[in-house]
Each structure stands twice: as C-alpha cells, then as structure tokens.
C-alpha cells in the first residue's frame, strides 16, 4: 500500500503534495514503483495533530481520488475518520475505507461501510491523535488489542459488513510506546489467528528513532528492515512511503530464502 498524503503537516511528507495535479502525479509514480493499493489521506493524524474541517478535507482528497480512479485500476483507499469524506470518496472511485479509529469516531461510518460494500481497514488507536502518545498503557498490549478487535469485529459483522471485506491494523504508533510497537511487530501471528488479513503501517515512524537514533529523513533502512521482518511473518498488507525500496528488498529476500535448503 502506497501512502499518498495530501496534507501540509503529515509527520514525514507533509507539504510534499498539496494540489491535485501533484498528488495525482505522485500516486501514479507509486503505482509504477509497485503499489498494489493507494491510500489517500487529507488529514494528518500524527501525534498532537489538529483536526481538519470537513470541507477542507473534502477539498483535498475527493478531486485526487476522482482523477486517480479515472487513470488506474489499482484500488484506492480513503484514509479518514469522517463518514462524509468516505462517502464522497467512494462515489469518486475509492473502494476501501481506512479508518484509524476502527470506525468509532463517526457513528455514520459503519452504516456507510455496510451500505456501500466498501472494503474496511479497522485500526486500533488508544485515545485520539491529540492524546494518544501522552501515556499509552496496557495490561498486555497483545491480549488487549486482540480483545478490542474481537469486540469491533462483532459490531462490524452485526452491521452486515462481510468478513471478506475486513482488514485489521494494530495501529503502530497510535497510542503505543516503542516497546509496545516492537511487541506487536514480533507477534503478528497472534493477530492473524483472528482470521483476517493484517495491515501494518510502520513506515518512517517515531519508534524507529527510539530504536536506531535516526531522524525521520534517515529511517528508510529501518523501515525496510521491519518490512522484511513482516514479510517473514506473512503480513498481507504493508503501508509504505517508499514503495520501491521496500518492494525490492522483500523480493530480494524472497529470492534468497526460497532457495535456502
């Protein structure tokens, strides 16, 4: 999954593309580099970020979704917690709702997903983007997240969302310490046991700085290393800024390991 942020303030690539034409060009470039899904977002959810008004988020993302949907068959995911943004993006050609709140922030999101037949990425977050890193605490991060997912799945399925349309995302960096993130990344099988595809979004994130002592612009190698670790655990979807480098590394890793006897 290639990340396409149409924002001025995302933690890593904020301001890189802020108009439709530049965003469309970048989206097509991500596809050329190997993205199987494009994830388009118009609101930064970095720690401490401010909410974006509905009309502004719509202005940022809907024209980009429409243009890319007209130019590619690659599925488009809309990264939003607002049902109206999801609704208009789906009408413009998106196929997936990627909601960092696990479809909890907006009461209209679950009915919308059920009515439209969209794919759903249900992500875990503790708190909100404004509060999530204040003091994230769990009894046992793996057990607590699995329990939370089971509750969310029951609600999604009860609303009529088909199981084959659901992906689970443990939410790396969303209300987790660096140690929590590492526990999650090393216990992917625990989440796969729930019976749904898993998405991991670790690209360039802050825990890599804790782990490696690198600033955000120096986290590519760390991101690639985690991607290979995730590939070794058969993670279905990896959400990335640097699609080409990660794809090449995983393909090279697979080429070697497939020949190991």
Q: Is 239 a catalytic residue?
A: yes
Q: Are strands 38-41 and 76-79 parallel, antiparallel or unpaired?
A: parallel
26, 206, 239, 247: the active-site residue: 239
Work out the number of other CB atoms within 10 angstroms of the CB of residue 147. Answer: 12
Q: Is 26 a catalytic residue?
A: no
Output DSSP code: residue 42.
S
205, 206, 219, 247: the active-site residue: 205
Task: Please identify which residue in the block is written with the tokens 């690659």.
Answer: 74
CA distances from 172 to 71, 160, 161, 233, 257 (A): 31, 28, 24, 16, 27
Which tokens hold the place of 12?
């890593």
CA distances from 84 to 65, 120, 121, 160, 172 (A): 14, 15, 17, 20, 26
Distance, in Å, from the CA atom of 247 to the CA atom of 184, rounded to the nearest integer, reads 22
Distance, in Å, from the CA atom of 22 to the CA atom of 27, rounded to the nearest integer, reads 9
Distance, in Å, from the CA atom of 66 to the CA atom of 71, rounded to the nearest integer, reads 9
Distance, in Å, from the CA atom of 245 to the CA atom of 2, rounded to the nearest integer, reads 12
Residues classed as catalytic: 205, 239
């Amino acid at each position: 999954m290639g990340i396409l942020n149409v924002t001025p303030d995302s933690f890593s690539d904020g301001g890189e593309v802020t108009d439709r034409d530049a965003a469309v060009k970048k989206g097509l470039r991500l596809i050329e580099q190997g993205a199987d899904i494009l994830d388009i977002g118009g609101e930064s959810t970095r720690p401490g970020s401010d909410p974006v008004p509905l009309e502004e988020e719509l202005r940022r993302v809907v024209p980009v979704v429409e243009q890319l949907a007209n130019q590619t068959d690659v599925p488009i995911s809309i990264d939003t917690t607002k049902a109206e943004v999801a609704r208009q993006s789906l009408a413009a050609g998106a196929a997936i709702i990627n909601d960092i709140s696990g479809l909890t922030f907006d009461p209209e999101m679950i009915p919308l997903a059920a009515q439209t037949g969209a794919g759903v990425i249900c992500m875990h977050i503790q708190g909100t983007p404004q509060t999530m890193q204040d003091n994230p605490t769990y009894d046992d991060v793996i057990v607590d997240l699995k329990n939370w997912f089971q509750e969310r799945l029951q609600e999604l399925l009860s609303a009529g969302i088909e199981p084959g349309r659901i992906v689970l995302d443990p939410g790396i960096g969303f209300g987790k310490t660096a140690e929590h993130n590492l526990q999650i990344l090393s216990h992917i099988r625990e989440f796969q046991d729930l019976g749904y595809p898993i998405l991991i979004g670790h690209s360039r994130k802050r825990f890599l700085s804790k782990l490696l002592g690198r600033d955000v612009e120096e986290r590519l190698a760390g991101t690639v290393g985690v991607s290979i670790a995730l590939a070794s655990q058969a993670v279905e979807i990896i959400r990335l800024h640097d699609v080409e480098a990660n794809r090449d590394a995983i393909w090279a890793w697979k080429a070697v390991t497939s020949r190991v006897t």
